[in-house]
Amino acid sequence: MSGVLLSIRDVAVDLPTPRGNLRAVDHVDLSLEAGRTLGIVGESGCGKTMLSRAILQLLPKKAKLAGRVMFDGQDLAQLAPEGLRRLRARDLAVVFQDPMTSLNPVLTIGTQLMETIQEHLELDASAAKKRSIELLTAVGIPAPEQRLAQYPHQCSGGMRQRIAIAIALSCEPKLLIADEPTTALDVTIQAQILDLLAREQRRRHMAMIIITHDLGVVAGRADEVAVMYAGRVVERAPTQALFKHMHMPYTEALLAAIPKLDAAPHTPLPAISGRPPDPTRPLKGCSFAPRCRYATNRCHEAKPELKSAEMPDHLYACFHPIQMAEGIGA
Amino acid sequence: MQLAVREEPLLSVDNLVVEYGLGNKTVHAVSGVSLHVARGETLGLVGESGCGKSTLGRAVLQLRRATSGRVLFDGEDLTAMEGDALRKMRRRVQLIFQDPIASLNPRRRIGDIVAEPLIIAGVKDAAERKRRVHDVLSAVGLDPDLVSGRLPHEFSGGQCQRICIARSLVLNPEFIVCDEPVSALDVSIRAQILNLLEEMKARFGLTLLFIAHDLAVVKAVSDRVAVMYLGRLCEVGPSEQLFANPAHPYTGLLLQAIPVPDPDVRPAESVATGEPPSPIAPPSGCRFRTRCPRADQRCSAEMPELREVAPAQFVACHHPLA
Amino acid sequence: MATLELSLPEEVEQPVRRRRRLGFLFWFAIFWILLVVVLAMFAPILPLQNPVDMDMLERRAWFSSEHWLGTDGLGRDELSRLIFGAGVSLTVGLCAPMIGLTIGGALGLLAGYFRGRFETLVVGSMDVLLAFPPLIFALAIVAYLGQSIPNLTFILGFLGIPAFMRVSRAATLTLARREFVIAAEALGASHARILLRELLPNVFLPLFAFFLLGVAVTIVVEGSLSFLGLGVPPPMASWGSMIGEGRESLEVAPRLAFLPAVAMFVTVLAFNLVGDTLRAITDPRQGAL
């Protein structure tokens, strides 16, 4: 039925900075099957954006990439620029956080949309225009013919994000990477955009990666969730399993720190004190240990590996996982 | 919680209107908002972008002049004040911004930045200033000796926000407007800063106007909440009550749209339709009617006013939720 | 506090002393500027030949022990003319942009902060000034007030005001709506305090970098004016007038035009380099990842 579409093996991204080497992504393993949604959750600086750039082969020039990114059987790092260009938009599409900057302000929407279509699908102008109108309708933009002649600044934020999604979907990609697609949008528009992405994904049997800092966004919309901290994946599990039986203290702390709508006002929030470690000075032990209330000496000495215990698809990196079933040791 | 109505509210906003020109068009940012904040209370003001909540916050502090209406602080009319009188009043009301790093002058040291309000207020004694800066920096959880000599860019967003909070507290104000103070911060830092604000409020006896777009955040710190849409108030009421039983369809829409971190809660196909209209050309009558499933003729003809539908809960709607 | 919070003190990372490798070129530029400035300042007391003494028998002489860099078309010592000329070029080169910096900078700061009709007035008058042909202006001043260093400085300074106003206003506009300025207003700071304490320190650096570029440009423009005969009156030397005088001897003794040109070129380059480097290293923002 569906095989593994994207396979990330031991990927590391290093960036030279004036303060020393910055390890943005630290040996990450992930895989994604066609038609499934993976949610990558983490706070700023955890490496999730660098990871998405690594997948798209859009890293800054100074960055060094190690490991393999296999897409549809091809090693993306080995592809020639021409092959990579063909892959983009046709098979691999991306939607960024800020629709204001991801659309070209001096080109009309029609130009931007049709440019991509004509480039990759080799359609003539009128066929491309027809397809553009279809796409704009699919993403819920009213009066699509008029929109084609408009410029991005004439549209609202939510509208622009829909257009960005339309551009991303225009060539029927196999994988869509949405990097914080709704962070810059209002909550009512956010819901609409997430619904749109879910609908289009189902319709096109597309794989999707949603990158976000909001656990709420992935809770209802991802099949599997990977939690990142300080460049590593610290927990990975099917969504239900992650929320119901989380094993990483960081995941537990992250969830607890979100203000809940059903809590009474003035309930003190269980905050996580301190800050993530400086990525140019990695710690010897577990990166979360200085902020973890379960930390022991062992945690400061050695880095725990990502592995599973009772459930093969629920992985975590901790010496003292929480919520383990009876009898399963650390 | 609920304060006795006998006491005069500390802040009273009376039919405030803020409009400004954009080219040859007029932006109706705030169109007749009245609210009050009792001493010691936290009033949450929530709404999406473009609803005018930030403009309202600035207008209350007279950083943006209102087109009409009054703002009474402790009985005095801020809208009628100017020049020195207004500058003196500023020591009692403060503001915390959304972007903590941009709120600090990149070329000045933290010690100077936090001491600035004292200098402006005329505290001449340098030792006294240093002592007060020291106290307030410790109160927000920063080590004054480590922090005073540094520049803002050496700190993280959360730490900068602590510095901003310290700066706003150094003159012992009575009232603070918090304009999206945690929106730009990470989740784990957000909780720290919210806890800090609650702690500071208790310690310094503050009254807060807490502006945000995140309902859960607003609920966590507010006694009462006001919901704003396109320049007008939709609903005002005690936090628990308002969120448990929203009366305005927009409040209901906001609540339903929030992504809940619980995989069992299937996100419903959003009822939300369309986009908020532009504040340049707001719809006639009830401004929410273009997106409201309950709208009818009356809604486009007649602007609803706030009326009490439950104890202390007011809603501006012709067809409130049951 | 609550279940998961540890009471950790807020960590502040140690500031990194950025070891910026200010390359060899930068230090050479500094060295050159200092050399030229020192020589120009102490010219009167240095053991140099008199720059206006004409020796008609030794015209266009080659380098010798008596005249280290030879003599010019009227037998005057080239080296001492170069050094005295440096004084003139630098005086005008530094003082004229100073006028632009103070007046233009102040106007731009005020215009960008207060906006409204004042800004329109300032920008409008600067536009008028810019549109006026600079050479005609220079000619008119020289015709009515005569050729002299102060007049020359005044002309060039005045003509530089609009450019400084533009730079200052642009910098102020970006800063004036930033939160830290509104924060100062919210604290009850007066306009003067905001302008001097909040805006000026931030606007000053781009202005100063522009000033150094202005010095470079002014030296060249002064050179051009003197070349055209509108600059310093003879027998006073400035690098530009020396190039102008050297024009006559281009076939026979090109070094007469070449030496002052090289001196001007290297000095201007040095100022540019220092200006660029200063702007780069004093930017307080470290690149965010």
- Of B197, B163, B167, the C-alpha closest to B180 is B197
Q: Across residues A47-59, what is the average pLDDT? A: 89
Topology (CATH level 3) of domain B11-92+173-247: Rossmann fold (3.40.50)
**Assessment of whether the complete model's pTM goes beyond 0.80:** yes
Answer whether B21 touches A (CB < 8 Å).
Answer: no
Q: Do B99 and C188 touch (CB under 8 A)?
A: no
Answer whether B129 touches C (CB < 8 Å).
Answer: no
- List of residues 6+ apart from A208 with CB closer than 8 A: A36, A37, A38, A175, A176, A177, A178, A197, A201
Buried b (16+ CB within 10 A) or exposed e, A63-82: bebebebbbbeeebeeeeee
More confident residue, B205 or C241: B205
3 state DSSP class of A145: helix
| Strand ranges of the sheet holding B11-22, from the earlier edge strand across to the other edge | B25-37, B11-22, B68-73, B76-77
pLDDT value at residue B165: 95
CA distance readout (Å), A52 to A10, A24, A30, A83: 14, 11, 12, 19
Q: Do C15 and B167 touch (CB under 8 A)?
A: no
Q: In this structure, what token pair is assigned to residue B174?
A: 């009575």
Q: Across residues B107-118, what is the average pLDDT? A: 93
Q: Across residues B189-196, what is the average pLDDT? A: 91
Q: Across residues A196-206, what is the average pLDDT? A: 89
pLDDT-above-70 percentage for chain C: 89
pLDDT for B2 beyond 80: no
Residues of A with CB below 8 A from B48's CB? 186-189
Q: Per residue in A80-115, pLDDT tens? A: 888 888 888 688 888 988 877 888 888 899 998 888
Residues of B with CB below 8 A from A271's CB? 188, 191-192, 194-195
pLDDT for A329 beyond 70: no
Domains of chain C: 78-281 (1.10.3720.10)
Residues of B with CB below 8 A from A273's CB? 192
Residues of B with CB below 8 A from C202's CB? 105-107
Q: Which of A253, A268, A273 sits opposite C7 (nearest CB)?
A: A273
pLDDT value at residue C288: 31
What is the amino acid identity at position A240? Q
pLDDT value at residue B221: 93
CA distance readout (Å), A287 to B179, B184, C34: 33, 24, 52
pLDDT value at residue B129: 94
Q: Which of B217, B254, B261 sits opposite A188 (nearest CB)?
A: B254
- Name the residue ranges covered by the structural domains of chain B: 11-92+173-247
Residues of B with CB below 8 A from A214's CB? 187, 259
Asked if C181 and C190 touch (Cβ cutoff 8 Å), the reply is no
Task: Looking at the complex, report in whole angstroms how far the Cα of residue B264 sits from the nearest Cα belonging to chain A.
Answer: 7
Average pLDDT of every residue of chain B? 89
Q: Do B121 and C190 touch (CB under 8 A)?
A: no
Identify from B188, B194, B275 which residue to disrupt to test chain A contact, counting A C-beta atoms within 10 A and taking the largest count.
B188
Task: Looking at the complex, report in whole angstroms how far the Cα of residue C1 sits from the nearest Cα belonging to chain A.
Answer: 7
Q: pLDDT band at residue A1, thresholds of 50, 70 and 90? A: very low
What is the amino acid identity at position B237? G
- Name the residue ranges covered by the structural domains of chain A: 4-91+173-316
Q: Per residue in B204-237, pLDDT tens? A: 999 999 999 888 899 999 999 999 999 999 999 9
Q: Per residue in C13-42, pLDDT tens? A: 555 555 556 678 888 999 999 999 998 888
Find, in chain B, the residue whose alpha carbon is nearest to that of A251: B188
Residues of C with CB below 8 A from B145's CB? none
More confident residue, C235 or A56: A56
Q: Architecture of A4-91+173-316 per CATH? A: 3-Layer(aba) Sandwich (3.40)
pLDDT for B64 beyond 70: yes
- Of C55, C41, C30, the C-alpha closest to C83 is C41
pLDDT value at residue A119: 80
Report the phi/psi class of residue A187: left, alpha or beta, with left for phi > 0 and alpha for psi in -120 to 50.
Answer: alpha
Distance CA C226, CA C218 (A): 12
Average pLDDT of every residue of chain A? 87
Q: Which stretch of DSSP H or E encloses residue A70?
A: strand A64-71
Q: Which of A214, A257, A261 sits opposite B243 (nearest CB)?
A: A261
Q: Per residue in A244-284, pLDDT tens? A: 888 899 998 888 888 888 888 888 888 887 888 888 888 88
Answer whether C183 touches B (CB < 8 Å).
Answer: yes
Asked if B11 and B19 touch (Cβ cutoff 8 Å), the reply is no
Q: Per residue in C34-81, pLDDT tens? A: 999 998 888 888 888 787 878 788 788 888 887 888 888 888 888 888
pLDDT value at residue A330: 39
